[in-house]
Chain A
Amino acid sequence: MDEFQTGEETAFVVDEVSTIIKESVEAAIGGNTYQHSRVNQWTTNVVEMCLSQLSKLGKPFKYIVTCIIMQKNGAGLQTASSCFWDNSTDGSCTVRWENKSMYCIVSVFGLAI
């Protein structure tokens, strides 16, 4: 009984997701300078845009998108994540972006249903 063929369409494709993230970040904060009053809106926009593009892919995945925006000021920032999942089907992708006044780090985690 051939019901569901697991192939490329159901694996987490890092390159595709990476492109989606980069486009979303560029569109949301592309030419802007860090502004305390607007950064709240920016992080929200970045995650929402990424998530809507990802769900449009129509794959059987649950997604978690996180975004960090940090002002360039000389401070040190270190992030790490650890995941307990199914290695054969789940995956993640992290994109680091920066401009003259800020850093933006976006991570997408995709978990197969």
Chain B
Amino acid sequence: MEEYHPGDEVAFNPDEASNSVKECIEGIIGGVDYSQNKVNQWTATIVEHSLTQLVKQGKPFKYIVNCAVMQKSGAGLHTASSCYWDTTTDGSCTVRWENRTMYCVVSVFAVAVAL
């Protein structure tokens, strides 16, 4: 009974996800300066748009998209993540973006859904 052949279509493609996320970031905070009243809205919009683009790819994955926006002021920021999953099917990608006044770090984690 030949039903489903796991092949390239079901592995997480970090490059594709990374490009998708970069476009979302550019579209939302591309030419703007850090603004405390707007940053709340920016992070929410970035994660929602990125998630929508990923889901549109139609692959059998659950996604977690995380976004951090930090004002450039000399402070040190360090992030780390550790994942307990199936290394053959699951994956992640992180995009670091910056402009004159802020840094933006977006991480996407994709976990395969058992079919």
Contacts from A to B (Cβ < 8 Å): 34, 36, 39-40, 42-44, 46-48, 50-51, 54-55, 62-86, 90, 92, 107, 109, 111, 113
Contacts and interface: CB of A to CB of B under 8 A. Distances in A.
Nearest to B66: A81
B77 A68 contact: yes
A66 B107 CA distance: 10
Contacts of B100: none
Contacts of A55: 84
A54 B80 contact: no
B32 interface: no
A109 B64 contact: yes
A79 B64 contact: no
Interface in B61-84: 61-84
A62 B84 contact: yes
Contacts, number: 144
B63 A84 contact: yes
B67 A81 contact: yes
26 contacts: A50-B82, A51-B82, A51-B84, A63-B83, A64-B85, A65-B82, A66-B80, A68-B68, A70-B75, A70-B77, A71-B75, A76-B34, A77-B69, A77-B71, A79-B66, A79-B67, A81-B47, A81-B66, A82-B51, A83-B62, A84-B51, A84-B55, A84-B63, A86-B62, A92-B64, A111-B111
A71 B77 contact: yes
B76 A66 contact: no
Interface in B22-75: 34, 36, 39-40, 42-44, 46-48, 50-51, 54-55, 61-75
Contacts of B48: 82
Contacts of B85: 62-64
